[in-house]
């Protein structure tokens, strides 16, 4: 299988999208309202009402509303309400959290396959994305996905798992480069993560998502800071890149933190500008986890670089896309 054989439902550049992590019971998330039923919070509704025309697509991360069962129909009311709140956003994608593509443990994928494909059929997701990482160990969910085991055994497992999910899911799977935030994740093995990820993409034929914060977190972990943050990027599977992610990050002292707090760093935008012309198959740039006030307005500190991001993506979208 080659990357070109995994066909997306559109070959156009979708431009800028919004990615949203929507836990149950939080102010930016889903809620069970006694009057409105299972729906997004009013805060989310107001944000989408104000900003939906800035985005050409929407993705959201799956968060379990009930840990005792996995049934797609249980999520229809909430997801219907989410998409009804943004009628001007025509395209949709799903950020999965159940595929656990880096696991070495045996598991039965059939419940997740049925669940996912039912959602794809109902909502027409153009693609599914998930970090290449460990999302659970011994069937216990982790608070944040860990990077894959950077070993030969870990590499073989990732390739096998990605191939299996690609063949089973009803929408293409884009595999995301994992995060390596120092102090928040544990890295096991000595294979370079860029080489590891490139091999997974090549041997599975999978398109990939390059998360700018995750890439920078790995560069910082390896001491490649300042102008050295561009070192080694050619070892990534740039020709397989389908999508970019950008979420709010911060440099604290000499540590890089992928905080998802809504405020993009200048370094993230500079890296995006560097990579866009080097990724001829890229179709989408996702602004992940914007943060906003109760009235739906973006946090003031996030506005400057959000406007810069919009301008970068608009200029790129106007260029001819490679088929």
Domains assigned to the chain: 3-317 (3.20.20.150)
Please tell me the distance from the alpha carbon of residue 122 to that of residue 275, in angstroms, as a whole number.
34
pLDDT tens column, 37-93:
999 999 999 999 999 999 999 999 999 997 678 999 999 999 999 999 999 999 999
Q: Which two tokens stand for residue 149?
A: 């085991």
Give alpha helix (H) positions in the chain: 42-51, 76-84, 110-123, 152-168, 193-204, 212-221, 266-275, 300-317
CA distances from 99 to 64, 131, 257, 311, 315 (A): 13, 9, 25, 34, 34
The pLDDT of residue 322 is: 60
Residue 2: is its pLDDT beyond 50?
no
Out of 78-87, 91-100, 118-127, 248-257, pick the least confident.
Answer: 248-257
- Identify the residue with better confidence: 185 or 22: 22
Q: Give the max Cα distance, the chain.
A: 54
Please state, rounded to an integer, the average pLDDT across all residues of the chain.
Answer: 93
- Inter-CA distances, 144 with 134, 164, 198, 200, 220, Å: 9, 23, 23, 21, 19
- How far apart, in whole angstroms, are the C-alpha atoms of residue 245 and residue 45? 22
Dihedral sign of CA atoms 280, 7, 4, 217 in order? positive
**How far apart are the C-alpha atoms of 148 and 159, rounded to whole Å?**
11
pLDDT value at residue 128: 98
Count, residues in the chain? 323
7: confidence class by pLDDT, cuts 50, 70, 90: low
Is residue 115 scored above 90 in pLDDT?
A: yes
* Strands 173-176 and 250-252, bridge-based pairing: unpaired
In a 3-state reduction of DSSP, which class is residue 297? coil
* pLDDT tens string 231-249: 999 999 999 999 999 999 9
Name the DSSP class of 116: H
Question: In angstroms, rounded to a whole number, what is the distance separating the alpha carbons of residues 39 and 30?
Answer: 6
Q: Taken in order 142, 147, 152, 156, is the CA torsion positive or negative?
A: positive
Rounded Cα distance between 66 and 231, Å, is 44
Nearest-angstrom CA–CA distance, 151 and 61: 28
Task: Report residue 285 as tokens.
Answer: 């740039």
Going 309 to 259 to 229 to 215, the CA torsion angle's sign is negative
Of residues 122 and 189, more confidence is placed in 122
φ and ψ of 19, to 5 deg = -110, 135
Task: Tell me which of 45-49, 150-154, 216-220, 284-288 is least confident.
Answer: 216-220
Q: CA torsion sign, 208 to 194 to 21 to 310?
A: negative
């Amino acid at each position: 299988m080659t990357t070109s054989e995994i066909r997306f439902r559109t070959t156009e550049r979708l431009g800028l999208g919004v990615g949203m992590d929507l836990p149950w019971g939080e102010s930016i998330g889903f809620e069970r309202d006694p009057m409105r039923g299972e729906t997004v919070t009013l805060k989310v509704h107001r944000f989408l009402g104000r900003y939906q025309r800035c985005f050409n697509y929407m993705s959201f991360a799956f968060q379990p509303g009930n840990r005792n069962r996995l049934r797609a129909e249980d999520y229809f009311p909430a997801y219907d309400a989410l998409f009804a709140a943004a009628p001007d956003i025509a395209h949709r994608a799903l950020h999965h959290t159940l595929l656990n593509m880096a696991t070495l443990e045996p598991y039965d994928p059939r419940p997740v396959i049925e669940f996912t494909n039912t959602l794809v059929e109902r909502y027409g997701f153009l693609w599914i994305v998930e970090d290449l990482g460990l999302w659970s160990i011994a069937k216990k969910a982790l608070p944040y996905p860990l990077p894959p085991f950077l070993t030969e055994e870990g590499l073989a497992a990732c390739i096998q798992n990605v191939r299996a999910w690609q063949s089973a899911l009803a929408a293409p799977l884009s595999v995301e480069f994992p995060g390596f935030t120092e102090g928040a994740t544990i890295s096991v093995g000595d294979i370079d993560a860029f080489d590891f990820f490139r091999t997974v993409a090549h041997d599975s034929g999978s398109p990939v998502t390059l998360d700018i914060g995750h890439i920078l977190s790995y560069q910082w972990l390896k001491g490649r800071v300042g102008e050295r943050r561009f070192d080694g990027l050619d070892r990534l599977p740039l020709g397989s890149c389908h999508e970019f992610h950008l979420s709010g990050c911060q440099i604290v002292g000499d540590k890089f933190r992928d905080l998802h707090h809504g405020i993009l760093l200048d370094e993230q935008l500079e890296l995006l500008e560097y990579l866009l012309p080097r990724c001829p198959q890229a179709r989408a740039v996702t602004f992940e986890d914007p943060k906003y006030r109760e009235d739906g307005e973006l946090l003031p500190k996030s506005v400057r670089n959000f406007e810069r991001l919009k301008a970068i993506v608009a200029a790129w979208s106007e260029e001819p896309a490679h088929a």
